[in-house]
Structure 1
Amino acid sequence: MNIPNRPEYLKTQVEVEKLRTLHSELVEVDAFERQIKELFFIDNHAFIGMPKEEVYATTDFENYVATKKDAFIHVYFPWLNTIVRTVDAGDYYRLKTNRNQDLITAAEQKKLHDYKVAVLGMSVGSNIAFVLAQAGISSRIILADFDELDTTNLNRILAGVHQVGLNKTIVAARHIYEDDPFAEVTLLPEGVNEANLEELIKAGEVDCIIEEIDDIPFKIHARLLAMKYKIPVVMVTDNGDGVVLHVERYDLGHDKIWGKPHAYYEQKLADGPMTKEKAGSIIMNDIVGGVHRVDPNMIKSVKRVLARELVSWSQLGSAAILGAVVATYTVKEIALGKGTKRDIRAWISPESVEHGNHTVS
């Protein structure tokens, strides 16, 4: 059965009744009453700290509820066969981002809400996309990946065994919609290429690229496009328990790829097919920063992959989550106009917490 991958929004009781008729086992959740109670304290600071039951007995609360009685919408999640009565989009966003204050100011939150991010690659990328959504960043987000979820992905992708076989963009989008049913998620389930990426950029749909694609030639082409259209690129590469962060501020005039002239990589592409050996050298030396920077156990894993003793290289869920946190912070800083360094490579690891430092170049 072909199940829609975005919520449906029901504004009338007639639509709700029709849905009930069509789905006899429909699960119904009413979040609205609790949400109104939360909103009351947000909008009426004088009552903060008072016993809640006393507040709910006041005429102020009664009058507030009366003003909000019709400010709801029903959201149907087809993949869950669940309908939720919830506050409308504006109040939902206020609730969802309220606990961000004053770590993120209201003015900053508006900028972050409107900032458009394209997340390319849904391994580490799916975690990044979800953490962005949690933070209220990029209400219009693009997710790209042609691959389907396998059980071996579940050590690092936020998903369940019931989703095995689904396209990874669908898995990620559903997770985002359950967190924010009013998000606008564009899916590229056939994957991303130079043509559709450039089309999205030219249409004004991309303010920042988070590039998590395995294919080295595409990584290069994506940066050449970003350079052409002055789009910042953020990339996180897992490295054992840690990650390597790359920030390339093409929006600020940066004109290199991984610290080298772009002509160097254009020549690499012109020299013929990108073999595993060439790709491995670029990853180890240009991206991670040399063999001395690579986690020793990661090197063992790669050797076993090349010897066909492992199906694919090892990746940890903890590193994927760390990468999501690091990437989200980086996107937040870029979106808010903070930081002017055009080329950053940082090695971030739990070990650096123990030793009280981390390394940046």
Structure 2
Amino acid sequence: MNLQDNEELDFNYQGLIFSANVGEGKHTALAELMSDDRIQKIDQLDVQVAELIKINHPTQKFDEDQLSEKVTEFYIDHPREEYGNWVYYHWRRQLIRILAKDDFIDLRTSRNRYKITEEEQDSLYTKKIGVIGLSVGQSVALSLAMERSFGELRIADFDTLELSNMNRIRTGLYSLGVKKVWVVAREIAEIDPFLKVVIYDKGITDENIDAFFGERGGIDLLVEECDSLPVKIQSRLKAKAMGIPVVMDTSDRGMMDIERFDLDSELPIFHGYLEKFGDESKLLENLADNYREILFAILHFEQLSERLKHSMSEIGKTITTWPQLASSVIMGGAMGAHYARMILLNQKVPSNRFYVDLDAIN
């Protein structure tokens, strides 16, 4: 059995990767999976090889017979029974044939070019991104994964998926009761089993915050999308102390918030909206006495949409928490991934808070 690049596998959310070229005496686990009639086997390797040939010969136009001949030639140099990988997803009970790692990555990112250059793509593979909160955070994480904009993704959320979450979190009913970090990590593994995802299924706590921010050289960027006000403040203070940029979307009026602590370690958190509450290092100590006021200051209450303002007045009366719509969450996820990529590639992105308000566009 060959677990290529998977050092600490967690079968709850990671695909199990087997080399097709297992070699004598190393094929027991794969053979057992292949012989299990309860497991669906999907082998579309020929289609992937054909597409790989096309992207490697962009000036040529192959007809069906020519392409078939090229696939046959490919297997002369790369015997089919030995080439590529099988990936087993236990939660789906599926065993899927894919290209060899380098070919898989080249093909999967081929339509990024030249929106993302080869040099930029290679640079992104060296980056570590942390995502706290997996509503908007799920959309950011999946967008980053689809673009392959990181080398390691750390995701933190303590919650499990509930039916009401599915108005904005893209998944199926099969995920009800599953930890949100598993839901997101599984989707990423199904897109690309070679991407590294590290989960924090207790959310961010006093016990794990140092590891989340600092392990293995530390994260290069934080995407903060959690509902917890203490964690919002605590994570900002940590990012500021470590010089880590922060990206946040509030899924209302397309508000995007960017804090470049990597460029200026003296920036006040939340662009100074909390300065009236005193020393920012004391905010957590004084939070209980000013919770509502601090929350409204962070959200810049006057700039919220009228519908969200009304919704917040109904919390605890007719609703239990503020609403979020899929259209806003998906847009926020796309914007978050876009600006995360720009920041990681050292493109010009200042500290700023701005709105992409679709309701205001006529």
Query: What is residue 206 of structure 1 aligned with on the other side?
Result: 219
Match of 1:83 among 92, 95, 108: 95
Q: State the 1:314 CA deviation.
A: 1.0
The DSSP-based 3-state class of the residue aligned with 1:104 is: coil
4+ aligned runs moved over 4 Å, structure 1: none
The DSSP-based 3-state class of the residue aligned with 2:251 is: strand
The DSSP-based 3-state class of the residue aligned with 1:29 is: strand
Can you give the 5+ residue segments of structure 2 that lack an aligned partner in the other structure? 1-9
Matched letter for residue 246 of structure 1? D
- Quote the RMSD (CA, aligned, Å): 2.0
1:181/1:272 CA distance change after superposition, 3 Å: closer
Matched letter for residue 45 of structure 2? F
Q: State the 1:89 CA deviation.
A: 1.8
Q: State the 1:194 CA deviation.
A: 4.1
Query: What is residue 294 of structure 1 aligned with on the other side?
Result: 304
Aligned residues: 340
Match of 2:16 among 8, 18, 35: 8
Q: State the 1:3 CA deviation.
A: 6.0
Query: What is residue 285 of structure 2 aligned with on the other side?
Result: 270
Q: Does 1:246 align with 2:257?
A: yes
Can you give the 5+ residue segments of structure 1 that lack an aligned partner in the other structure? 356-361
1:288-336 per-position Cα deviation (integer Å, ceiling 9, x unaligned): 3232x11111111111114x21122111011110000100110010011
Q: State the 1:44 CA deviation.
A: 2.4
Match of 1:346 among 346, 354, 360: 354
Match of 1:19 among 26, 33, 55: 33
Query: What is residue 359 of structure 1 aligned with on the other side?
Result: none
Q: How does 1:273-352 map to 2 (within 5 A)?
A: 273=288, 278-285=290-297, 287-291=298-302, 293-306=303-316, 308-341=317-350, 343-352=351-360
1:29-70 per-position Cα deviation (integer Å, ceiling 9, x unaligned): 0121111111112222342x332433323xx55333322333
User: Which TM-score applies when normalising by structure 2?
Assistant: 0.88
Matched letter for residue 29 of structure 1? I
1:212-271 per-position Cα deviation (integer Å, ceiling 9, x unaligned): 1111122111111111111111111111xx321111111112421111177643333232
The DSSP-based 3-state class of the residue aligned with 1:305 is: coil
Kindly indicate which of the two structures has a greater share of residues assigned to helix.
Answer: 1
Matched letter for residue 54 of structure 1? Q
Identity across the alignment (%)? 26
Q: State the 1:92 CA deviation.
A: 1.1
2-side partners of 1:175 and 1:330: how far apart? 22
1-side partners of 2:293 and 2:141: how far apart? 28
Residues 194 and 221, structure 1, Cα contact 8 Å, conserved in 2: no
The DSSP-based 3-state class of the residue aligned with 1:238 is: coil
Match of 2:138 among 92, 117, 126: 126
1:163-216 per-position Cα deviation (integer Å, ceiling 9, x unaligned): 110110000111111111111110111111244222233321411111111111
